[in-house]
């Protein structure tokens, strides 16, 4: 869910990387927001960020993934994609990739 900078709270988790206008990643998806990061985001003139909402923790109605798996999958996906979803269709594609990454990480942890 997109949150304006003035509503960001310490402890929130980025659901998407923060990318500047030059395409450089400033903060990776999965990063936990600290007071220091909030100040840096203000310095970088970032207007809003995407953070995990309650609906993003349970990525599939049938399977609930733990925070650790979701955060790992989010970081892993961010490292592979230099892309931020800009509409609901792109967000759905991103969520499909995130679900698949969670499945793969979950299976690997069970071994």
Q: Which pLDDT band, with edges at 50, 70 and 90, does 108 fall under?
A: confident
What is the spatial distance between Cα 82 and Cα 24, in angstroms, rounded to a whole number?
A: 9
Structure tokens at 107: 């299976």
What is the DSSP secondary structure assignment for residue 66, as one 8-state letter?
-
Q: Which pLDDT band, with edges at 50, 70 and 90, does 63 fall under?
A: low
CB 44 within 8 A of CB 26: yes
Average pLDDT for the chain? 82
Residue 28's Cβ-count burial label (10 Å; 0-12, 13-18, 19+) is middle
Residue numbers of the domain that contains 76 = 2-110
| Cα 11 to the center of its chain, rounded Å | 13
Q: Give 9-51 pLDDT, tens digit per residue.
A: 999 988 888 888 777 788 888 889 999 999 999 998 999 999 8
SS3 2: strand
Overall number of domains in the chain:
1
What is the spatial distance between Cα 28 and Cα 5, in angstroms, rounded to a whole number?
A: 17
What is the spatial distance between Cα 15 and Cα 53, in angstroms, rounded to a whole number?
A: 8
For 25, other C-beta atoms within 10 Å of its C-beta total 13
């Amino acid at each position: 869910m997109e949150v304006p900078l003035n509503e960001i709270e310490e402890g929130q988790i980025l659901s998407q990387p923060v990318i500047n206008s030059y395409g450089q990643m400033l903060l990776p998806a999965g990063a936990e927001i600290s007071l220091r990061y909030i100040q840096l985001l203000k310095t970088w003139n970032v207007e809003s960020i995407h953070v995990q909402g309650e609906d993003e923790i349970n990525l599939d109605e049938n399977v609930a993934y733990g925070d650790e798996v979701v955060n790992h999958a989010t970081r892993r996906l961010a490292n592979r994609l230099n892309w931020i979803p800009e509409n609901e269709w792109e967000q759905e594609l991103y969520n499909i990739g995130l679900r698949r990454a969670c499945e793969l990480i979950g299976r690997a942890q069970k071994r």
